[in-house]
Structure 1
């Protein structure tokens, strides 16, 4: 891939990004043609989307893609031909979420609605650990130290797992619809998005509310910025902002020093299924299963700096961990803008 680039100002970003090439990664073994329907979340069980989840490894040298047809494939972004990719087989149902261990470049975790969580060594294609019986599992988040992770199912039960143990360390039943989760970079707080539009802030691994209302110490403090279900969440790399996305088509930007919503990004079309910050935290993009394009905004000001036309809806977005390079799912196909494929 191209050499890591320096930080680019918001005024120069659009001209720089417009010049980048987009590369598609076609998997001939994966079923296509399922239309533009929504990714399966617990409130849309009858809908499917071929590509459910994409994730970069910590160095950005690999990208994993999990699909509704049980296909799990790891690509070398520089080699788009499928023969240079690695297929990982074993799940019996749609793959809902994939994520690399944040401190191990070749350890990948996948979560499927078959109730199994698999840990893979991408180099050998081996399953190095498996946890079964977790119900209709659909979301996961690694703790920053890579020593544990959390997996949630559609019965609102959250399991704490170890990448080396075949049974859960703990489970925490939630009393409200719980969607995506993410950690603070210190690993002591975990944020849970809910069907009520709020975000819980809990201690980890205890899962106890960290803050309470000043006028009612018995009531946990939550982030309330959406008029309907809150379905996606992402912590900025510099930890200044926590971004949440809702089915109200809004991305809310929370200042992590005082937990006040400083601004909202309102140019999205349809529910915000995923959110991603660029490696330097300067730019943010949201993915939706409606519309046909991506809108990139400057995180600090909320100003939209670049519009990108796509073939169809792009529910999943993921910035590269070290450079201005954006992966996204477009009509069920993995695409990456900013790579330098087949470099010689």
Structure 2
């Protein structure tokens, strides 16, 4: 295990951020593929960009076109580095093969889709829409397997690492836990006094984290479902979180003009990344301490120049 002092020294020596023009308007979602060689971004401009990582630089491979409305979230297959799933407000989910420039499946859904996740076994994609309906899609047949409505505000969704539980964050400050595939309620965690926005499981399966509108991030023991600590350095709602590949670091971001990097075992601050506008999507690389993120477009005076930018942090200083 890397020590806190070693991590702080690493980021002190590797604290440069590089910008890459990705889209013509706001980037909603970024995600690395399973082998870390590709980064995808989805945007309000209705497109998906796929970059290839060469050492410490990104080069654009493809621009996927096909959605007729904003691409709000995307996710790579958990172990096939070529397959990508995207959720759009156009009431569809698309699956893409990164080796081509076309979608391999277009699945029509019942509402405007705002979140998506892939099951750890790679067999199912779950997508949530604005009407709090979660649709489960078989990724082998491209058919809808089940549609599950909820009577509460569903914000973000995720399987646990063992693929036998399904988690939903809610507008009531709760985390709802269902068994899978039965989707029967098993437990409701009273996680925060305000809306629970985002949820992320660490790669080791030991913890999961929840980001809330109360500006707190809570860290939970995934086996015993108990909160073990909270991180409270943000001042605005915690919109997006990501664990590092080894589970030792947690990135948290919001409307604060910085991204907080915490040491998971203690909650101690390792570093922060200054930003010029709010951050709504972050993703740690699956094999190294390299963070991809995207910020909101700047104010109207600078929007044309800054719109659609993807950023990498953790690059060696020149």
1:16 match: secondary structure: helix
Structure 2 residues not aligned, in runs of 5+: 298-308
Q: Could you tell me whether the CA contact under 8 Å between 1:150 and 1:158 is conserved in 2?
A: yes
Using the size of structure 2 for normalisation, the TM-score is 0.91
Deviations 1:180-232 (A, max 9, x none): 0111111011110011010011111111123xxxxxxxxxx311121111010
Q: After alignment, is 99-108 or 329-338 more displaced?
A: 329-338
* Cα distance, 1:103–1:81 mapped onto 2, change above 3 Å: closer
Distance in 1, matches of 2:58 and 2:205, equals 36
Check if 1:24 corresponds to 2:19. yes
Q: How does 1:1-344 map to 2 (within 5 A)?
A: 8-20=2-14, 21-27=16-22, 30-32=23-25, 50-78=26-54, 80=57, 84-210=60-186, 221-288=187-254, 290-332=255-297, 333-339=309-315
- Aligned partners of 1:9, 1:315: CA distance in 2, in Å? 29
Distance 1:191 1:318 in 2: 19
Deviations 1:87-140 (A, max 9, x none): 000000000111111121011101000011000011112211110133111111
Deviates more, 1:69-78 or 1:244-253: 69-78
For 2:19 and 2:12, the matched residues in 1 are separated by 17
Cα-to-partner distance string for 1:59-110 (whole Å, 9 max, x where unaligned): 000000001111210011328576x431000000000111111121011101
Aligned-partner Cα distance in 1 for 2:129–2:223: 31
CA contact (8 A) 2:109 2:135 kept: no
Q: Is the 8 A contact 2:280 2:296 kept in 1?
A: no
Q: RMSD of aligned C-alpha atoms?
A: 1.7
State the partner residue of 2:305.
none
Q: How far apart are residue 170 of structure 1 and its match? A: 0.6
Residues 7 and 270 in structure 2, CA contact (< 8 A), matched pair in contact too: yes
- Contact 1:129–1:163 (Cα < 8 Å) also in 2: no
Give the match's secondary structure for 2:144.
Answer: coil
Number of positions where the alignment pairs a residue of Structure 1 with one of Structure 2:
304
**Cα distance in 1, alignment partners of residues 110 and 39 from structure 2:** 25
In structure 2, distance between residues paired with 1:77 and 1:22: 15
Please list every run of at least 4 consecutive aligned residues from structure 1 whose deviation after the TM superposition is greater than 6 angstroms: none
Shift of 1:320: 0.4
Instruction: Quote the Cα distance in structure 2 between the aligned partners of 1:313 and 1:18.
Output: 23
Superposition deviation, residue 272 in structure 1 = 1.2
Please state whether the residue corresponding to 2:280 is helix, strand or coil.
coil
* Structure 1 SS opposite 2:5: helix
- Would the aligned equivalents of 1:129 and 1:164 in 2 still touch at CA under 8 Å? no
Q: Is the 8 A contact 1:129 1:165 kept in 2?
A: no
Q: Higher strand fraction: Structure 1 or Structure 2? A: 2
Give 5+ residue unaligned stretches, structure 1: 1-6, 33-49, 211-220
Q: Distance in 1 between matches of 2:12 and 2:139?
A: 40
8 A contact 1:276–1:318 mirrored in 2: yes
- The 1-side partners of 2:81 and 2:261 are apart by 28
